[in-house]
Structures are given as C-alpha cells and as structure tokens.
Amino acid sequence: MGKQSILILVLCIVVTTTNAQKKSLSFKQVDSTSYALYLKQDWKSLITLGKKSRAEGIDFYYLKVRMGIAYYKEGKMLSAIKFLEEANKVDSYDVVVQEYLYWAYRYGGLVLESRLFYAKMSKILQNKIKLNLPFVTAIDLSVLATNNLDY
C-alpha cells in the first residue's frame, strides 16, 4: 500500500506541474505582444494571437484595431470590416480606423457602404480622399399591377 501512495503522490505532482505550466494569456501580455507584432508587420502571427486572446476572453480597443488592420493587410476585407466596425463603435473619432474602414469597404466591394460611411468620416479624411459623390446614384422605374381594390 505504501508504493501505491507514493505513486499517487508523484502522479498528482506531475499533473499539477503540467497544469501550472499551461500559460493563459494576460491583458498586458496580449497588449505588448500584439503591439510588437503590429510594429513588425507580422500580420499572420497577430491574427493568430488575436484569435487566441479573444477565445480566452481578452478583448480591447487596440486589439480590435490591430486585428482589423492585420486582416486588411492580408487582403481579408470582410474580416477587417468586422473588427474595424467594432473599433469604430468604441471610438468613432479615430481617423486611422475611419480610413482603414473606408478602404476596406471599397476594396471589399461594398461601394454603397463606403459612400455612406464617407459622409460620417472626419472632414480631414474627406478632403484627403476627395470622393465625388454623384447627385443621383440610381433611377428605378417599376410597374405595379394589383387587383387589390383596397390598395
């Protein structure tokens, strides 16, 4: 019985040590690492870190911005739009987010959304982009045929 007790004790120590070695992410670690990856322009690693940290419940404004820009740089416009829209909801006055979001809409093929967002952007960015908005974007003619007398 003594050997079994020792074996169980050793097994408990090994399991405890193994669980202690599993590192969970902290806010500070995610912030500093994601910023370093952003500065190095290591977009794929930044996206991987962002996904992992969000899965662990760590999410903050600059992580949204960095992930949005990373997806933009990787050419994944719809994912970029998702994160940049989240960041824009937190701080709608950030011109960097506004510019990336506008171009993500444009390059993602969402021309109408880009035009609508253009009207909400800061005047400085509007003057920089100088989008010529058409007076009329579409003319729609249709015929309505009904036998409903109450219409």
Indicate whether 149 belongs to any domain: no
| Domains contained in the chain, number | 1
Q: What is the residue-wise DSSP string for 92-108?
A: TT-HHHHHHHHHHHHHT
Q: Tokens in use for 115?
A: 């035009």
Indicate whether 47 belongs to any domain: yes
What confidence tens digit (pLDDT) does each residue in 58-90 have? 999 999 999 999 999 999 999 999 999 999 999
What DSSP designation does 145 have?
-
Task: Tell me if 23 sits within 8 A of 53, measured CB to CB.
Answer: no
Indicate whether 3 belongs to any domain: no
Indicate whether 75 belongs to any domain: yes
pLDDT confidence band for 46 (50 / 70 / 90)? very high
Percent of the chain with pLDDT over 90: 64
What confidence tens digit (pLDDT) does each residue in 94-117 have? 999 999 999 999 999 999 999 999
Confidence check: pLDDT of 150 > 60 = no
pLDDT at 49: 97
Distances (CA, A) of 140 to 75, 136, 146: 34, 11, 19
Q: Name which residue leads in pLDDT, 88 or 137.
A: 88
Q: Name which residue leads in pLDDT, 139 or 110.
A: 110
pLDDT confidence band for 131 (50 / 70 / 90)? confident
Alpha helical stretches, state H, 22-151: 27-40, 43-55, 61-73, 77-90, 95-107, 111-120, 123-129
Q: Which domain range does residue 31 map to?
A: 26-129
Confidence check: pLDDT of 15 > 60 = no
Indicate whether 1 belongs to any domain: no
